[in-house]
Amino acid sequence: MGDRLKLVLLGPPGAGKGTQSVVLSRKYNIPHISTGDILREAVKSSQALGIKAKAFMDRGELVPDEIVTGIVIDRLSKKDAKKGFILDGFPRTLKQARSLDESLKNISSGIDIVIYFETSSKVAIERLSGRRVCKKCGFNYHIKNIPPKKDGICDKCGGELFQRPDDKEETVVNRLKIYEAETKPLIDYYVKKGILKKVSGGLSVDNLFKVLSNIFADAKLV
């Protein structure tokens, strides 16, 4: 199981990529590699990488390709990524996609499947404005859709919940604009390669998980 699942999740901010990654990673026992999470961790611990990335992230802009691509290639070379992985939030530009293809040539066969979470701006904005994240363990909630049992407190570890600084309305608008301009062209890029599958990001967490599990099984990837 999980031997061949090299997966990319593509979709706008708020589509639910991170949420599905957590459950898929557990089910198929493959690492969840989120460039957003890696960058946020670097910001939190004031690493040089974090200091460079913070200004871009706060404005809702993309961190330069060279920086992000280096992080991912490094991460993919680790032992646990050999049997499969979930890339969440990478690639996000055509340049990143080409660099990924190039680097996978050296370490394994290429990406098996790209899942595009088709999601309206309305749903994306509603999801982002209601997102709350645990300060301690990073688990994501949504004040309406996936509320914690106790307001402001993580069910899993008791940590305090906070709003991501880039989930403020003005930053969200910019993130969506940049998604349209920089990341949407990747849909075509992967359609042409014959590995893109479109799903509805508007489904519930459980239903989307079922749809995805069926897609991987039908494609004999698991």
- Where along the sequence are the contacts to ligand AP5 (CB under 6 A)? 11, 13-19, 34-36, 39, 56-57, 60-63, 68, 89-90, 92, 96, 127-128, 130-131, 140-142, 145-146, 166, 175, 203-205, 208
Annotated catalytic residue: which of 6, 40, 131, 132? 131
* Closer Cβ to Mg ion, 4 or 164, answer by number: 164
54 as an active site residue: the answer is: no
220 as an active site residue: the answer is: no
Please pick, from the candidates 12, 18, 91, 201, the single residue that binds Mg ion as defined by CB under 5 A.
18
17 as an active site residue: the answer is: yes
Q: Min. distance of Cβ 105 from Mg ion in angstroms?
A: 27
175 as an active site residue: the answer is: yes
* Calpha distance 143→182 (Å, rounded): 30
Cis peptide before 147 (omega within 30 of 0): no
13 belongs to the binding site for Mg ion (CB under 5 A): no
40 as an active site residue: the answer is: no
Q: What angle do CA 143, 36, 26 make, to 5 degrees?
A: 75
Contact 100, 90 (CB under 8 A): yes
In 3D, which of 78, 63, 2 has the Cα closest to residue 33?
78
* Closer Cβ to ligand AP5, 4 or 146, answer by number: 146
Distances 71 to 37, 41, 126, 198, 201 between C-alpha atoms, Å? 12, 13, 30, 27, 27
Residues making contact with Mg ion (CB under 5 A):
18
